[in-house]
Structure 1
Amino acid sequence: MMRKQFQALLLASATMFAGSAAHAQDEVAADAPTAAPADEEIVVTAVARGQNRLTTSVTVSSLNSDDIAKAAPRSVAEIFRNLPGIRSESSGGEGNANISVRGLPVASGGAKFLQLQEDGLPVLEFGDITFGNADIFLRSDFNVGRVESVRGGSASTFASNAPGGVINMISKTGETEGGAVQATAGIDYRDYRLDFDYGGRISDTLRYHVGGFYRQGEGPRKAGYDANKGGQIKANVTKEFDGGYVRLYGKYLNDKAIGYLPNPVLVTGTNADPKYQDLPGFSINGDTLHSRYFRDNVTLDGNNNPVTRDIRDGQHPVVYALGLESQFELGDGWNVTERFRYSDISGGFTSPFPASVDTGSAIATALGGAGSTLTYANGPKAGQAFAGSNYLAQIVLFDVKLNSLNNITNDIRVSRDFETGMGKVTLTGGFYKSRQTINTDWLWTAHLFEVAGGGNAALVDLTNAAGTALTQGGTYGYGATFFGNCCRRSYDVDYDTNAPFASLSLATDRLTLDGSLRYDFGSAKGTIAGADLGGGRVGIISRDMNGNGTISVPETQVSVVPAATAPVDYSYDYLSYSFGVNYRLADDVAVFARYSRGARANADRLLFGPAVNTTTGKLTDTGAAVDFVKQLEGGVKYRNGGVTLNATAFYAKTEEQNFEATTQTFFSRNYRAYGLELEGGYRIGAFSITAGGTYTDAKIVSDVLNPGAVGKRPRRQAKFLYQVTPQYDVGIVSIGANVIGTSSSFAQDSNLLKLPAYTQVNAFLTVKPTDRMQVSINANNLFDVKGFTEAEEGAIPANGIVRARSINGRTVSASVRFDF
C-alpha cells in the first residue's frame, strides 16, 4: 500500500508541476553552472565543501547534459566511458556493467572500488552486489544536470567503500525556470522513448523540478520481444531561507531491461593475434541468447515452492526512494550539511549464461552418449530433428529474485572557516551511517538452447540411444546442472556501516594544504542457506515439476534451498586517510599532489567461501573483511580562455578478495598500477574539442590461490583508454562525433588470449529550426565495430568457440525536442 501511495504522490506532483507551467526559458542544468568559466568550476563530490577546481588537490571531471547527449548513450555505463580514468565495460545492456578506475581491478563484476552516487549519496552501499550491481538501479534522463567524477584522492575519506573514486549524478533543482519534452525512436532498431522535465519557482523562496521517462522496445539487440519496458519519475522541492535551504526529493523507478551476458563467437588465428568472427546466423554485436521461444522459467522459489518466472523481466529494478538535503548556518560561522535517503529496492535479474557452446552432435554425445538425438522442443520446428552440425548452447539461466536491497543512508557534516595569520583554515567534521540489506534467492535452471539470431532460437530436447528423454521441454535440470548443481542459494544479511570523519585545510593566496581522516566500523548480521555450504546439506531432490504424475530424468535434478541455515555475524573496522597539497603557480595554472589510503569492506561476495565460519558466522581470517587501496597522485591543471588541460600521474596498490559467480572462482591477491591520465579541451569560434586518455601499467604482484598469475597483467586491463569529442556548432546546426577507444587487453589472467583493440564512433547531428524546437539524429557505434570487453576462455579452445561480450552494434535514433 505504501508503495502505491508513493507512486501516486510522485505522479500527482509531476502533473501539478507540469500543468502549472505557463511560461519558461531554455533549459540549463541546476545547482552548478554547466558551462562556468574555467576558474569558477566548483567541485561538490567527495570533498569537505564545494571547492574551486583550480584550488583543490583532487582529480575531478564533469559532464553536463549537453555532453551526455552528444555521447548518444544507451546506458549510464556508456556515459561513464567519457570520464578520463574510468574503465566502463558497457556491454551488459542497461546495467550490470563492470566499472573501475586507474588500473584498480575488476576481479569479478560491478564497481567494487568505485561508488556510484545520486546527489551525493550512494545508490547502493556496495557497487558489486552479486546480480545487484549499482548501475542496474540508476538511469540517466532529463533530471540529470551534470555527472561529476572524482578519482582517488579524497574519495577515500569522504565516502565509505569508495577508495578508487566516486561518480555522482547530480540532479537539476529548478534554479532556472523551464522544461522540455522529447520523443525518441530507433531508426534501425525498435525502441521508443519519451523524456520530459520541468522546473522553476513557485515563489521567491520555493522552487521545484520534476522529470522522468518512459520507454518500450526490443532494445539494441534482436531479442524477439519487447526487452526494455518501463521508466522513472523524479521530483524535488527546495525551500530557501536566510543562510540555507531544505530540499525534499523522491524517485520511482520500475524498468525491465534486458541484460546481455557472454555470447558465442568463433575465434581463429592465434591467442596473440586472434580473429573474431560471427557464428553462422548469429551476430556477436547484434544478437543475443534470448528469444521469443524462451520466456518462462519453471523452478522452485526461495521457499522451495513451484513457481514460473518470466525471463523477459531481465534486469528489473523497482526503487522507491525518499530523501532530504539541507544546508544551514548554526551561527558564529558554523555550517551544517545534512543528507538523508531511504530507498526501498527490489526486483530481479534474469539472463541466460552459456556454460558451453559446441555443435549439436558434440553436445549430444557428451551428455547422452553415442547415438543420442536432438529435436526442437518448441518454436515453428517443434518435433523436427535438430541438425548435429548446428550450434547448441548449454544454458545456465541466471534467475535471481532480489527480495530486498533496501538502503538507508545519512551523512551529516559541520564546518567552519577560521581566518588566521597564515590564511583561511577550514575545519570539517561529520558522521556517516548506512544500513544495506542483501536479501536474494538464486533460482537457476539448466537448458539446451539453439544458437540462432533474430530472437528466433528455440529450446532443444535430447534423447539417448535407448529412447530415454534426458530433457523436458528443453530443460536439462531444475538447477545449475551444467555447473555441478551449485548455487541454489538464499541470502538475508544486513550490513551496517558507520564512519566518523574529519578534515582540516589551510588556504593562502597560492597554497592549499588539506588532510582528512575517516574511521569506518561496521558489521554483517543475518543468515545464508545453500547446499554449497556443505555440512550434509542436501541440495538435489526428485520432484514432479510439471505435475503429470511421473518423474522424468530432469525432475531427478531439482535444486532446493536446504532448511538448515548458516549464520553471518562478524564486525570490522579500518582507518582511511588522505593528504593533499595544491599550489597555484598563476591565475590559470596549478600543480597538486596527494597520498591516500582507503579501503572497501567486502559484502556478499565473501559469503559461501572459506572466510566465514558456517557454524559461528565469524571470520576465519579477520583481514578478509576489508581490502585496502593506497594511492599516490600528482599533476598539473591549466585553464586559459578556450583551453583546458589536466595531467595526472598516479600509482596504486590494491588488495582484492572476491568471488565470481560465472566461474565459481575465489580470488585473494594484490595488484599494483601506475600511469598517466590526460584531459583537455579547446574552443575557437564554432569549433570545439574535448579529449581524454589514460595510460595504465598494471600487474598482479601476489596471489594466494593462483601463484601462476603473479607478474601477469590483470585480465581485461588495457594499457590505453581514450575518448575524443570534436564538435562544430553554428547555432542552427551542430554536428560532431564522440570517439571511444581502447588498446588490446587479455581475456584472462593467464595473459594468453587477447581482446583486440577497437575504436567506437558515436555521431550526432542537431538542427534547431526554431528557438524552442530541436531535431537530432544520434548514431551509437556508427561503423558497427565489434568491441570485446570480456571473454570466459583464457585461450582459443579446440572448437574455436569463445564466450564473449561485445559492445552493441550500430543503433541510430531520431529525436524531436520541444523546450518550453
Structure 2
Amino acid sequence: MKMLAFRSCVSTIALVAAGVALPVAAQTVTPDAAAQADPTVSQAASAGANSAQDAAPGQIPDAAQASEDIVVTATVGDRSRFRTSISVSQVSQEAIQNFTPRSEAEVLRNIPGLQPSDTAGPGGNANIGVRGIPVSTGGSEYVALQEDGLPTVLFGDINFGNNDYWIRFDQNVSRVEAVRGGSASTFASQAPGAVVNYISKTGDKEGGQIAYSNGLGYREHRIDFDYGTPVSDTLRFHVGGYARNGGGLTNERFNILRGYQIKGNVTKDFADNKGFVRLYFKRLDEQAPTNTTTPSLAKLDGNKVTGFSPLPTFDGRDGSSYSVYNRSFQYLDYDGGGVRRAEVQGIAPKVTSIGGQVHYVLNDAITIDDTIRYQWIKGNFTTQFINVQPLNGAGGVIGSTVNGLLVGSARYAAGPNVGQVYTGAYVNNNPNINTLMKDMDNFANNLTISGKLDVGGGKITATGGFFAMRQNIVQDWHVNRQISELNGENAAPLDLFSITGQQLTAAGQAGFNDNWGTCCSRRVDLQYTDYAPYLQVGYETGGLNLDASVRYDNVHGEGTAQGGVAGPNTLVRDALGTASIPSLVLSPTVEKIDYNDDYVSWSVGALYAFGSQTSIFARASRGGRFNADRRVLSGNFNADGSLNGQGKSTSVNFLNQQEVGVKQRGEIGAGSYTVEITGFRSTLTENNYDFTRINNPAPNNDPNISNGYRSYGIEFTSRLNYGNFHLAVDATYSNSKITDSATAALVGNRPGGLPEFLYVVSPSYDAGLVAFGVSVNGQTATRSDDFNLYTVTGSTFVNGFVTVRPVDNIELGLNVNNLFDKLGFRGGGTVNPLLSPTQGVFSNTALYGRTVTGSIRYRF
C-alpha cells in the first residue's frame, strides 16, 4: 500500500510538471536495437547500434520505451537509463538537427546540468560549465567531449586547444549522450563533472540522406550526406560528412567559413554472436569564425544591468571583428624569419583520425572490449579580439602614451578613408592573435574486461579497465597589440601619431608579441601521458542495483616552455609611412617540465526500481582534474622540471558530488511520458591561472585563481508524447557560492557568469506531411564577475522549425534561430560606465541575431 501511494505521488508530480511546462526542443530517442535484443549487451556493442538512423521521419517514438535505451557513456553499459543510478540524457540526431545548432556548444543546451556559453560561434572556444561549478579560465575544465567513447583531447581547457575545436556535429551522429556527475569520475579521465559522447551511426540498416542548406539573408552554403548499409550478414559500413563555405552568420564579404568533414566506419561481426571488430576514420579540415567579445550599450540602474542596445557603430547580433581590411596581419617569427603574414581564419582545425574497436564475447560470463584511436592534429587560431576604449577623454587613446610618446591623432590605415583623421567615439584596442597549433596529436586506448556471475537470486558484475592517453601540446603564440576603429562591419585598422607627427603604429599594430606581457610571448613543447586503471563492482537483485567504482590516474608531464623578453624594435612600413614597432622575443631561459602526479577518484551508487514505472537512486563521487599546460610559466616548477611547493599543492583539483534522483515513466491516455528529477550538491577546490585577466580593469585583473566553491540544485528533464505531439522540458536550478578564496573579497559571492536557473522548453507536432516546433531557451540573471560588481539581466531566446514532406523521401525545411532577433548574452561580462551613471559599455559575446536557414533533404 505504501509503495502504491509513493508511485501515485510521483506520477502526479510528473504529470503536473509535463502539463505546465512551457514549450521546448523536440528530442526523439528510439530504442537501441542491440540493447533490446540483449539487455546485457556490452558498452562497445551498444555503442554501435543505429537507433536514430532507423527511426522513420514523422514517427514519434514511445517516450517511456526510450528510457530503456542502454547507456554506453561513462558506465558499464549493460543497464538502461531507467535502471542506472546516474543522471543521463540521450538526444537524437533528428532532434538536434531540427533546431540547427550554430556551434557545438548549442548542441549541449538540450542537456540539463550543463552550462554552455554558446556564443563563441561555429569555430568553437566555448566555455562549458556543469552544475553550478564555474569555468574560471576558459574551455571546459570539468567536462569531456568524446567521439565514440574516446575524448577528443585529454584536457578540455587546453590553451588555444579546447575540446570543441576538434569535433563537429553532423548527420553521422546517431545520438548525443551525456552523463553528469556520478560515474563520470571513474569511467573517464579529466572529466569529473560530465562526459558528453557523440555516438556514430554504424550502418545496421540500409539508408542515407543528402541535404543542401542555404542561409537566407546571409551567405552560408552547406551540403550534408550520409549512407550506411549491411554488405552481408556479417559486414556493414557507414560513411558521411559535410562541406560548407560562406561569410558565416555575420555575413562577411569573404569566405571566413569554409571546409569539410568526412567520417566513416566498417564493422565485421564475428560468428555465433561473439561480437565484432570495427574500424573508424575521420578527416576534419575547415576554418570557422570564433567570437570573442561583441560589446553593447548597457542600461544601468545602480549596480544592475537591466537591458542592452547596439553601439552606434557596432551591433552585437551581427557585428564581428572580421573585416576585408584585416584578412591578414603581420607577426614576428620566433625562429629568425623576420616579419611574416598570417591569414585571419578564426579557428582552423585539421584532424586526421583512425581508430578501431573490438567487442568479443569470450563466454556467457566474460566480455572483452577495446577501443583505440590515433589523431594527427594541427591548426591555427588567428583572429582579432575586441575591446572598447574611448578615443578622447578619460582613459582615451588621444593623450595616452603609446610606445613612449604621447598620442596626438589617429588616422585610417586602410580602406576608402585611408590617411584621414579618425573621429569616432571609440576604438578597439584588443590584440590580434596568431597561435600556431603545430602539433596537438594524441593517442588513446581504453581496454575493459567485464564479467558477471549469478549468486543466489542476484547477479554480481565486475568491470576492470585500463585507459591510456598521450597528448601533445606544441604551440607558438603571437599576441600583437592592435588598434582599429570600432565598427561591426569591415572595421579598418588605425595608425596612431604622436603630438609631433611621428608614426607610432603600422597597419594598426603597436607591438609584436607583447599585448599580454612576457608570459604570453610563448612557445610550448609539451607532452602529457595519463595511465588510468579502474575497477567497477556491482550487485543486482530484484529492483535493487548497487555499484562502486574506483579509478587511479597517473599523469606524467614533460617538455619545455619559453616566455618572452624585450627584443629590438622592428621597422614596418604601411600605406601611411614607417613605424618602429617594439617586440618581445623568446626568452633564452627555458622552463623545464618533467614530473609525475597521481590521484584516486571514486563513485558509489544505488538504485531501487519500484516495478517498471518508478526508480530512485543516490550516488556520491569524488573526481580529480589534473592542471596541465595552464600551469606552465607561472611559478610551479623547480629547475629540474619537478613540481615545487606551490606546484604540488595546486596540480590537481577535486570535485566532490552527491546526488539523489527519481525516474518516472508511464502512460497518459494514448500517450506516454518520462520525468527525471535529480538533486545535487557539488564542492570544488580549484587552483588555476588565467593570463587573460592581466589586462582586465581592477579588481578582476589577478591571473592567479585559488577558490573554493559550493553548489547545490536540481536538474529536471521530461518528455511527453501524445499522438503526433511531443513536448520536451529541461531545466537546471543551481545555487552557487565561493566558500573560500585567496582573495578575501570573493568569499560569499556567487561565481561570475552563472545563472541560478537555465531552461529549454519546446513543443513540436509532426503530422507526416508537415512538422513544426519551437524552442524557448533562457536563463535568469548572472553576476558580471566573481566580485559581483554588477547583476546582469537574464535573456530568453526562441528558435523554430517547419518541415514539409511534399512527396516520399523529400523534405523542405525552414529553421530560425533567435526568432525575435533579441540582443542578449549568456554568462557575465565587463561593465564600463563610460557614458553616464545610467549607461555604460557591456563587454562579452552576444548571441547571434536572427538567422534563417532553408534546406532540402532527400532520404533514401
Alignment TM-score > 0.5, same fold: yes
Structure 1 distance, partners of 2:649, 2:54, is 42
1:231 pairs with 253, 260, 267, which one?
260
2:680 is matched with 650
Superposed displacement of residue 152, structure 1: 0.2
Task: Please show how residues 489-500 of structure 1 align to structure 2 within 5 Å.
Answer: 489-500=522-533
2:566 is matched with 539
Task: Please show how residues 348-363 of structure 1 align to structure 2 within 5 Å.
Answer: 348-359=380-391, 362-363=396-397
Are 2:385 and 1:385 aligned?
no
Structure 1 distance, partners of 2:375, 2:95, is 29
Are 2:666 and 1:636 aligned?
no
SS at match of 2:734: strand
2:201 is matched with 172
Structure 1 distance, partners of 2:341, 2:360, is 49
1:679 pairs with 709, 717, 739, which one?
717
Structure 1 distance, partners of 2:659, 2:114, is 16
Structure 1 distance, partners of 2:250, 2:770, is 31
Superposed displacement of residue 640, structure 1: 1.2
Amino acid at match of 1:697: N
Structure 2 distance, partners of 1:31, 1:42, is 16
Are 2:308 and 1:276 aligned?
yes
SS at match of 1:225: coil
Structure 2 distance, partners of 1:224, 1:515, is 56
Superposed displacement of residue 801, structure 1: 2.4
2:190 is matched with 161
2:796 pairs with 752, 759, 773, which one?
759
1:5 is matched with none
Structure 2 distance, partners of 1:410, 1:712, is 42
Superposed displacement of residue 658, structure 1: 1.8
Structure 2 distance, partners of 1:300, 1:370, is 25
2:29 is matched with none
1:12 is matched with none
Task: Please show how residues 588-737 of structure 1 align to structure 2 within 5 Å.
Answer: 588-613=613-638, 616-621=641-646, 622-641=648-667, 642-664=672-694, 665-704=703-742, 706-737=743-774
2:585 pairs with 560, 566, 574, which one?
560
- Matched-pair contact (CA < 8 Å) for 1:357–1:801: no
Are 2:483 and 1:457 aligned?
no
- Matched-pair contact (CA < 8 Å) for 1:448–1:474: yes
Cα separation, partners in 2 of 1:360 and 1:289, compared to 1, 3 Å: farther
- Matched-pair contact (CA < 8 Å) for 2:831–2:841: no
- Structure 1 residues 93-150: Cα deviation after superposition (integer angstroms, max 9, x where no partner): 1111100111112101111001100000000000000111100111011100000000
Superposed displacement of residue 742, structure 1: 0.5
Cα separation, partners in 2 of 1:655 and 1:47, compared to 1, 3 Å: same
1:96 is matched with 125
Task: Please show how residues 340-379 of structure 1 align to structure 2 within 5 Å.
Answer: 340-359=372-391, 362-367=396-401, 372-379=408-415
- Matched-pair contact (CA < 8 Å) for 2:74–2:188: yes
Amino acid at match of 1:601: F
> Which moved further from structure 2: 345-354 or 488-497?
345-354
Structure 2 distance, partners of 1:457, 1:253, is 30
Amino acid at match of 1:699: K
Amino acid at match of 2:263: K
1:78 is matched with 106
- Matched-pair contact (CA < 8 Å) for 2:615–2:662: yes
Superposed displacement of residue 351, structure 1: 2.0
For structure 2, the residue ranges without an aligned partner over 5 or more in a row are: 1-49, 695-702
Superposed displacement of residue 260, structure 1: 0.5
Superposed displacement of residue 268, structure 1: 3.2
SS at match of 2:843: strand
Structure 1 distance, partners of 2:641, 2:196, is 37
- Matched-pair contact (CA < 8 Å) for 1:296–1:308: no
Are 2:849 and 1:809 aligned?
yes
- Structure 1 residues 187-217: Cα deviation after superposition (integer angstroms, max 9, x where no partner): 0211100000000011110000000000001
- Matched-pair contact (CA < 8 Å) for 2:735–2:756: yes
1:777 is matched with 814
Superposed displacement of residue 553, structure 1: 3.0
Superposed displacement of residue 477, structure 1: 1.2
Cα separation, partners in 2 of 1:545 and 1:117, compared to 1, 3 Å: same
2:509 is matched with 475
Superposed displacement of residue 273, structure 1: 3.8
Amino acid at match of 1:493: L
Amino acid at match of 2:298: V
- Matched-pair contact (CA < 8 Å) for 2:753–2:829: no
SS at match of 2:822: coil
Structure 2 distance, partners of 1:796, 1:573, is 47
Superposed displacement of residue 796, structure 1: 3.7
1:8 is matched with none
Structure 2 distance, partners of 1:718, 1:609, is 31
Q: How large is the Cα RMSD of the aligned pairs?
A: 2.0
Structure 1 distance, partners of 2:388, 2:519, is 16
2:45 is matched with none
Superposed displacement of residue 672, structure 1: 0.6
Structure 2 distance, partners of 1:480, 1:442, is 10
Structure 2 distance, partners of 1:522, 1:279, is 48
- Structure 1 residues 586-638: Cα deviation after superposition (integer angstroms, max 9, x where no partner): 21110000000111111111111132335644233313111001100011001
Superposed displacement of residue 562, structure 1: 2.0
Superposed displacement of residue 353, structure 1: 1.9
Structure 1 distance, partners of 2:89, 2:334, is 44
SS at match of 1:760: strand
Are 2:246 and 1:202 aligned?
no
SS at match of 2:649: helix
Superposed displacement of residue 447, structure 1: 1.4
2:77 is matched with 49
Superposed displacement of residue 414, structure 1: 0.1
Structure 1 distance, partners of 2:146, 2:547, is 24
2:24 is matched with none
- Structure 1 residues 355-403: Cα deviation after superposition (integer angstroms, max 9, x where no partner): 542235721222367671111100111111111x432111211221101
- Structure 1 residues 792-818: Cα deviation after superposition (integer angstroms, max 9, x where no partner): 425645672232111111100000000
2:447 pairs with 406, 412, 423, which one?
412
Cα separation, partners in 2 of 1:113 and 1:472, compared to 1, 3 Å: same
SS at match of 1:395: coil
- Percent identity between the aligned chains? 38
- Matched-pair contact (CA < 8 Å) for 2:304–2:792: no
Cα separation, partners in 2 of 1:80 and 1:395, compared to 1, 3 Å: same
Structure 2 distance, partners of 1:634, 1:518, is 22
SS at match of 1:279: coil
Superposed displacement of residue 570, structure 1: 1.4
- Matched-pair contact (CA < 8 Å) for 1:82–1:740: no
Amino acid at match of 1:552: A
Are 2:325 and 1:296 aligned?
no
Structure 1 distance, partners of 2:600, 2:61, is 37
Superposed displacement of residue 49, structure 1: 2.5
2:371 is matched with 339
SS at match of 1:47: coil
Structure 2 distance, partners of 1:304, 1:276, is 47
Superposed displacement of residue 480, structure 1: 2.8
Superposed displacement of residue 755, structure 1: 2.5
Cα separation, partners in 2 of 1:222 and 1:186, compared to 1, 3 Å: closer
Structure 1 distance, partners of 2:461, 2:324, is 61
Are 2:294 and 1:259 aligned?
no
Structure 2 distance, partners of 1:313, 1:370, is 34
- Matched-pair contact (CA < 8 Å) for 1:193–1:216: yes
